[in-house]
Amino acid sequence: MPDDNKFAALREAGYTIPGLCGSCVHGQFPRSPRKPAPPWGTCDAIRYEHLKHDNPEGGRGVSIHRTGQCKLYVKDPFVVGVLGAHLEFFDDGSGATDSA
């Protein structure tokens, strides 16, 4: 059960959890038993033709950092479960509010 005083303090501070590449459906990040998780991955939405290497049809996803952000962001459904009660602080930059 969330502590109401903790959440009130977070609201008062203007706390937000931004929508970043690490929580986007387009972000592909390697799984690892290490903590923290590997920071670099690729984006399925932003593709390009690499000049030196073979390219899959349609190009390859650009390298991205999980703390990056762009206008193509789409929240991955896992975010709802991971954030739980903290979902109220989630802000994908669209101006919409989220509820659990």
Longest Cα–Cα distance in the chain? 55
- Total residues belonging to the chain: 100
- Residuewise pLDDT in 10s, the chain (100 residues): 578 899 999 999 999 999 999 999 999 998 767 677 789 999 999 999 888 877 888 888 999 999 999 999 999 998 888 899 999 999 987 665 555 4
Per-domain residue ranges of the chain: 17-91
Buried b (16+ CB within 10 A) or exposed e, 54-83: eeeeeebbeebebebbbeebeeeeebeeeb
